């Protein structure tokens, strides 16, 4: 009986019901085989300690290892397993799942485990840990099938059947030469439909895409997505396969990359976790805040130069925040668009120019509309509520409107050029652009607005 | 000879070299079989029209259909194919690839194609197009294998071999009952290692997760990621499989979701494309800009109430932008963190409270530090450059510092509560929160700052 994925808790609850139905081990195993390991993983939270321990005894270590790979925070369950059983379970895990699990295991427990874990697995774990978090090598798994290029079709099928007992990722088989170097891949479907006396060479794709262990994930990710394969081989310096990257790893990597960018746009230096301490969160945000503070102080000194204007015509200061806010928002919009475009496409100089021009046009168009709206509504407001004649009121609101237009056009320009500049000098535009754009926009807006007010209203129009 | 993925253009260039080497058709096909279709797709841009046409003649339609599925903008190449060939190619495509390709085809050409495309494919295409872009059904493909539950192992293997000729997604086989309803799935590896006289039922996972066609992608996506499968079946109202969702679709969907959120955080109503017209871009951004404008006008009227303070002590207006900017930035940081957390986790009321409290603590901590920095640096600036005594200068900068602190704490609070509120009433917090947070922060900052200036400096301290 299949159930709707959104009611996933129903699956987990069914499993709990089964576990509590008092079946003997054989019947229990038979029934649980009809469920996805993720659902069994989810049911664990709903069971008591005792029930879980009884379940661990009923299922074989390989099955438990698959279930555990779906659990995000296994610390609790790890303790329930006991060292011997834990070692058995870990020995059945893929290297990447084992690495993830061991991150949540105490040093003390690790010391007890070390002597009883498989040597091969330990070597694979050490391999993954030898890479930085931003390198491709840190994402690999040892869960793949590789065969020699010298086999016949029949021997290859035999290898497949042999290795499929332990390996899940079978839709692509990787081929190595006599020295163990990567020399191509075989689509499983091609092997399945091949006739017995075909040459293996005929179905090997020699020029199959691959990744290098030390490459940065962020640099490869667009290519990886484009190839749209379920898995891609990862090679070391000697061109030997050290593991594969699966589509699931790509999904996680894409999620992380975007989450990172999202955080940067808001001025956070990395994605924040609920569990971070207050101090850690403060440390993450402080850099940008301090930079903005001092840049803001700089803007304040510039505003200070126009103190005279405000002393004479205090009403103009009412609309400063309006103009700065609108300019800031327009700049952020252009920034967001430009960053996304820079990320996805490889633009020529000509296309970049046209993006800048287009952004300025959008800024101009929106600025015109908003400038006109400000002129009308603020003019009415000033005239009616602030005791100026309608003529003078609209002159003041006209000042606001024009400054708004100018500020928004400059904002669009800056919001596009600054990230492009940072992208060119290989600095992450998402991180670096924010404070620079805010400051430039503030300066332009303030100088335009108060400058215009001084010029037009005080000098020319003698409004005061 | 395998080549590094980052030098993908090397693969494509190799292919161009091969194509230009004057091989006859059989030799050309033999050599090109060693390359990934994405690389062949990429090589097309580097060929001349003539060379491409000659290539289309050399390769069979199925191969061309695979190559075309990797091309993002196939309009140019479609024209080169000619109607007859184009129809042959489309007939070999998966339904989702066909839908994508036909989006780039003129109405005129579509009318010519319609009579010659396969009826089955047309039905599948109509099915996909019957769903909205945000529904699961819009992402399905017909590229999957389904078998009857009444088969023996041997018959199932036979079906597999038969269907694998046309279907690539073979790592999971979907099982249907006599009425054609979905009743479970089989992992290919289980079928491969099964012994001939095992029961098919033994390897069918009955309670396999599935998706419903009309569900919203954004609501399912976390679950889909958690199940970590290469594909998941999509069922209609009658519980029949209408297609599958592949891991590649998930990668694209995750990319799009995050891109969408990213755009919303910056006040864009959807991700923007390079190719959009100026007018379309203006339309996308205008809603938020207009809302912000009128909210900004509202803030201006509140600032207007403090005109008297500025008239008497003009220097205070210099630091208004500083306080508003800092408050705005802190609010955006809290907003970004809260939105990410709301997206990923299912929080209890208690956890939400603790997030709010933590954010306020971070705001307070950062506010203290920044307030102190402002007090010191601005105090010196005012005393040295603006002709106030040091005592009075530090009183003024103290005002700024305290207002900064208060504004940042309130900002953190608002930046957390507002998205939580919108999330609760099922409005997308990423879209709705921005303007509300900006306005509330501006109001709090302005009232605090000028209020404090009025109270402390003018009333109590008689600074002027």
The rounded mean pLDDT for chain B is: 85
Q: Which residues in chain B have Cβ-Cβ distances shorter than 8 Å to A337?
A: 263, 266, 268, 272, 281
Chain B residue with minimum CA distance to A168: B189
Distance CA A61, CA A59 (A): 7
pLDDT, residue B116, reads 92
3-state secondary structure of A62: helix
Distance CA B14, CA B8 (A): 10
Q: Is residue B68 part of a domain?
A: yes
Distance CA B464, CA B462 (A): 5
Chain B residue with minimum CA distance to A278: B362
Listed in sequence order, the residues at least 6 apart from A263 whose beta carbon sits closer than 8 Å to its beta carbon are A269, A270, A271, A272, B336, B337, B340
- Kindly report the nearest CA distance between residue A318 and chain B, in angstroms: 5
Q: Are A278 and B358 a contacting pair at CB < 8 A?
A: yes
Half-sphere exposure of B116 (CA within 13 A, CB side): 15
Listed in sequence order, the residues at least 6 apart from B258 whose beta carbon sits closer than 8 Å to its beta carbon are A254, A255, A258, A259, A262
- Say whether both A330 and A217 belong to one domain: no
Tell me, rounded to whole angstroms, the distance of Cα B203 from its chain centroid: 36
Closest to A449 (Cα-Cα) out of A412, A409, A396, A413: A396
Distance CA B227, CA A38 (A): 6
Residue pLDDT, tens place only, B111-137: 999 999 999 999 999 999 999 988 999
- Beta partners for residue B228, in sequence order: none
Give the Å distances, CA to CA, from A196 to A145, A174, B158: 20, 19, 15
Q: Which residues in chain A have Cβ-Cβ distances shorter than 8 Å to B2?
A: 182-184, 206-208, 210, 239
The model's confidence at residue B6, banded by pLDDT at 50, 70 and 90, is very low
pLDDT, residue A462, reads 62
Q: Are A35 and B377 a contacting pair at CB < 8 A?
A: no
- Say whether both A127 and A210 belong to one domain: no
How many domains, in total, are found in chain A? 3
Q: At what angle do helices A278-304 and B320-344 cross, to 10 degrees?
A: 150
Cβ count near A210 (within 10 Å): 21
DSSP per-residue codes, B298-309: HHHHHHHTTHHH
Chain A residue with minimum CA distance to B294: A374
Distance CA B358, CA A42 (A): 29
pLDDT, residue A133, reads 87
User: Which one of A263, A281, A403 makes the best mutation probe of the B interface by having the most chain B beta carbons within 10 Å?
Assistant: A281
- The residue whose two tokens read 């933590």 is B358
Residue pLDDT, tens place only, B208-237: 999 999 998 888 888 888 888 889 999 999
User: Which one of B96, B269, B318 makes the best mutation probe of the A interface by having the most chain A beta carbons within 10 Å?
Assistant: B318
Q: Are A307 and B321 a contacting pair at CB < 8 A?
A: no
C-alpha dihedral sign at A256, A261, A262, A268? positive
Angle at A171 between CA A170 and CA A175, to 5 degrees: 75
**For A164, which of B192, B328, B341 is closest by C-beta distance?**
B192
- Say whether both B309 and B446 belong to one domain: yes
pLDDT, residue A5, reads 47
**For B2, which of A184, A265, A330 is closest by C-beta distance?**
A184
Distance CA A262, CA A267 (A): 9
- Say whether both A251 and A384 belong to one domain: no
The model's confidence at residue B274, banded by pLDDT at 50, 70 and 90, is low
- Kindly report the nearest CA distance between residue B88 and chain A, in angstroms: 22
Q: Are B188 and A207 a contacting pair at CB < 8 A?
A: no
- Kindly report the nearest CA distance between residue A436 and chain B, in angstroms: 13
Distance CA A226, CA A346 (A): 14
Distance CA B98, CA B104 (A): 10
- Say whether both B310 and B437 belong to one domain: yes
A67 and A55 Cβ atoms separated by less than 8 Å: no
pLDDT, residue B1, reads 39
- What percent of chain B stands above pLDDT 90? 38
- Taking one residue from A and the other from B, the number of pairs with CB-CB distance under 8 angstroms is 406
Tell me, rounded to whole angstroms, the distance of Cα A106 from its chain centroid: 28
A321 and A445 Cβ atoms separated by less than 8 Å: no
- Say whether both A249 and A350 belong to one domain: no
Q: Is residue B165 part of a domain?
A: yes
Q: Which residues of chain A have pLDDT under 50?
A: 1-8
The DSSP letter of residue B52 is H
Q: Are B226 and A263 a contacting pair at CB < 8 A?
A: no
Closest to B319 (Cα-Cα) out of A435, A294, A300, A317: A300
Q: Is residue A125 part of a domain?
A: yes
- Kindly report the nearest CA distance between residue A105 and chain B, in angstroms: 22
pTM of the model: 0.75
User: Which one of B1, B251, B320 makes the best mutation probe of the A interface by having the most chain A beta carbons within 10 Å?
Assistant: B251
Burial B16-51 (b: 16+ CB within 10 A, else e): bebbeeeeeeeebeebbebbbbbbbbbbbebbeeee
Distance CA A236, CA A176 (A): 13
Chain A residue with minimum CA distance to B211: A5
Asked whether the predicted pLDDT for residue B7 surpasses 70, the reply is no
pLDDT, residue B105, reads 86
- In the structure, how many helices (H) and strands (E) does chain A have? 21, 6
Closest to A43 (Cα-Cα) out of A57, A58, A32, A29: A32
Q: Are B164 and A259 a contacting pair at CB < 8 A?
A: no
Asked whether the predicted pLDDT for residue B3 surpasses 60, the reply is no
User: Which one of B296, B357, B419 makes the best mutation probe of the A interface by having the most chain A beta carbons within 10 Å?
Assistant: B296
**For A254, which of B254, B303, B336 is closest by C-beta distance?**
B254
| Average pLDDT of the residues in B62-80 | 89
Q: Phi, psi at residue B151, to the nearest 5°?
A: -85, 160
Residue pLDDT, tens place only, B284-301: 778 878 888 888 888 888
For residue B123, what are its two tokens?
Answer: 């039905």
Task: For residue A82, give its domain range.
Answer: 11-132
3-state secondary structure of B232: strand
Q: Are B34 and A184 a contacting pair at CB < 8 A?
A: yes
Q: Nearest 10 degrees: CA dihedral of B355, B361, B362, B367?
A: 150
Strands (E) located in A90-205: 145-148, 172-176, 182-187
Domain of residue A410, CATH code: 1.10.357.20
Closest to B296 (Cα-Cα) out of A69, A193, A319: A319
Q: Are A258 and B262 a contacting pair at CB < 8 A?
A: yes
Distance CA A293, CA B323 (A): 9
Closest to A319 (Cα-Cα) out of A417, A434, A398: A398
Q: Are A326 and B289 a contacting pair at CB < 8 A?
A: yes
- Kindly report the nearest CA distance between residue A408 and chain B, in angstroms: 11
Pairing of strands A211-212, A231-235: parallel
Domain of residue B234, CATH code: 3.10.580.10
Distance CA A137, CA A213 (A): 4
Closest to A187 (Cα-Cα) out of A162, A164, A206, A205: A205
Element (H, E) at B167: none
Q: Which residues in chain B have Cβ-Cβ distances shorter than 8 Å to A183?
A: 2
Residue pLDDT, tens place only, B132-184: 988 999 999 999 999 999 999 999 999 999 998 888 889 899 999 999 899 99
Q: Which residues in chain B have Cβ-Cβ distances shorter than 8 Å to A208?
A: 2, 36
Q: Is residue A86 part of a domain?
A: yes
Q: Is residue A323 part of a domain?
A: yes
The stretches of B266-319 forming alpha helices (DSSP H) are: 278-304, 307-312
Q: Which residues in chain B have Cβ-Cβ distances shorter than 8 Å to A325?
A: 292, 296, 324, 328, 438, 442
State which of A76, A110, A132 marks the end of a domain.
A132
Q: Are A250 and B251 a contacting pair at CB < 8 A?
A: yes
Distance CA B243, CA B249 (A): 12
Q: Is residue A292 part of a domain?
A: no
State which of A106, A132, A158 marks the end of a domain.
A132
Q: Are B267 and A332 a contacting pair at CB < 8 A?
A: yes
Listed in sequence order, the residues at least 6 apart from A83 whose beta carbon sits closer than 8 Å to its beta carbon are A109, A112, A113, A116
- Beta partners for residue A173, in sequence order: A145, A186
Q: Are B36 and A210 a contacting pair at CB < 8 A?
A: no
- The residue whose two tokens read 């030098």 is B7
Q: Which residues in chain A have Cβ-Cβ distances shorter than 8 Å to B262?
A: 258, 261-262, 265, 336, 340
Residue pLDDT, tens place only, B342-385: 766 666 777 778 888 888 888 898 889 999 999 999 899 888 88
The distance in angstroms from the start CA to the end CA of chain A is 83
Radius of gyration of chain A (CA): 32
- Say whether both A387 and A456 belong to one domain: yes
- Say whether both A17 and A128 belong to one domain: yes
Chain B residue with minimum CA distance to A233: B5
Radius of gyration of chain B (CA): 32
- Beta partners for residue B207, in sequence order: A35
B442 and B371 Cβ atoms separated by less than 8 Å: no
Using a 10 angstrom Cβ sphere, with 0-12 exposed, 13-18 middle and 19 or more buried, the burial of residue A58 is middle
- Say whether both A19 and A152 belong to one domain: no
Closest to B88 (Cα-Cα) out of B65, B110, B72: B65
- Say whether both B84 and B152 belong to one domain: no
B373 and B404 Cβ atoms separated by less than 8 Å: no
Quote the ipTM score: 0.74
Distance CA B371, CA B404 (A): 6
**For B307, which of A209, A286, A314 is closest by C-beta distance?**
A314
3-state secondary structure of B259: helix
For residue A134, what are its two tokens?
Answer: 């931003």
- Kindly report the nearest CA distance between residue A262 and chain B, in angstroms: 6
User: Which one of B1, B4, B5, B170 makes the best mutation probe of the A interface by having the most chain A beta carbons within 10 Å?
Assistant: B5
User: Which one of A333, A367, A380, A446 makes the best mutation probe of the B interface by having the most chain B beta carbons within 10 Å?
Assistant: A333
**For A171, which of B171, B224, B293 is closest by C-beta distance?**
B171
Q: Is residue A167 part of a domain?
A: yes
Closest to A281 (Cα-Cα) out of B263, B404, B338: B338
Q: Are B205 and A70 a contacting pair at CB < 8 A?
A: no
State which of B132, B158, B184 marks the end of a domain.
B132
Domain of residue A117, CATH code: 1.25.60.10
Per-state percent for chain B, helix, strand, coil, to nearest 5: 70, 10, 25
- Say whether both B407 and B309 belong to one domain: yes
Q: Is residue A216 part of a domain?
A: yes
Distance CA B293, CA A372 (A): 11
For residue B439, what are its two tokens?
Answer: 């306005």
- Say whether both A314 and A423 belong to one domain: yes
Distance CA A172, CA A233 (A): 10
């Amino acid at each position: 009986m299949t159930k709707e994925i959104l009611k996933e808790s129903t699956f987990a609850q069914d499993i709990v019901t089964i576990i509590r139905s008092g079946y003997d081990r054989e019947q229990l195993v038979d029934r649980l085989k009809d469920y996805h390991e993720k659902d069994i993983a989810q049911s664990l939270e709903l069971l008591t300690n005792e029930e879980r321990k009884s379940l661990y005894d009923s299922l074989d270590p390989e099955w438990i290892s698959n279930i555990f790979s779906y659990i995000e925070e296994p610390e609790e369950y790890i303790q329930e397993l006991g060292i011997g059983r834990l070692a058995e379970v870990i020995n059945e895990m893929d290297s990447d799942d084992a690495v993830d699990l061991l991150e949540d295991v105490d040093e003390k427990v690790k010391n007890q485990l070390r002597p009883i874990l498989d040597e091969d697995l330990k070597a694979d774990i050490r391999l993954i840990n030898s890479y930085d978090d931003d390198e491709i090598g840190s994402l690999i798994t040892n869960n793949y099938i590789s065969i020699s290029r010298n086999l016949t079709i029949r021997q290859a099928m035999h290898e497949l059947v042999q290795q499929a007992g332990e390996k899940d990722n079978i839709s692509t088989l990787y081929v190595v030469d006599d020295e163990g170097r990567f020399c191509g891949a075989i689509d499983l479907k091609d092997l399945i439909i091949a006739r017995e006396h075909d040459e293996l060479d005929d179905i090997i794709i020699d020029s199959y895409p691959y990744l290098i262990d030390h490459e940065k994930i962020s640099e490869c990710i667009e290519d990886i997505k484009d190839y749209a394969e379920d898995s891609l081989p990862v090679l070391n310096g000697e061109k030997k396969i050290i593991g594969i990257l699966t589509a699931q790893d790509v999904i996680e990597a894409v999620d992380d990359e975007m989450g990172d960018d999202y955080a940067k746009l808001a001025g956070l230096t990395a994605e924040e976790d609920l569990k971070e301490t207050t101090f850690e969160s403060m440390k993450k945000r402080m850099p940008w805040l301090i930079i903005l503070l001092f840049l803001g102080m700089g803007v304040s000194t510039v505003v200070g130069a126009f103190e005279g204007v405000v002393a004479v015509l205090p009403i103009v200061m009412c609309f400063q925040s309006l103009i700065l806010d609108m300019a800031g928002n327009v700049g952020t919009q252009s920034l967001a668009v430009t960053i996304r475009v820079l990320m996805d496409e490889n633009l020529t100089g000509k296309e970049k120019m046209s993006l800048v021009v287009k952004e300025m046009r959008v800024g101009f168009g929106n600025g015109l509309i908003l400038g006109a709206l400000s002129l009308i509504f603020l003019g009415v407001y000033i005239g009616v509520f602030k005791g100026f004649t309608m003529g003078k009121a609209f002159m003041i609101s006209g000042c606001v409107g024009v400054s708004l237009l100018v500020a928004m056009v400059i904002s669009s320009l800056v919001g596009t050029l600054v990230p492009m500049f940072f992208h060119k000098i290989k600095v992450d535009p998402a991180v670096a652009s924010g404070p620079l754009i805010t400051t430039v926009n503030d300066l332009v807006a303030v100088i335009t607005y108060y400058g215009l007010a001084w010029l037009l209203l005080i000098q020319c129009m003698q409004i005061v």
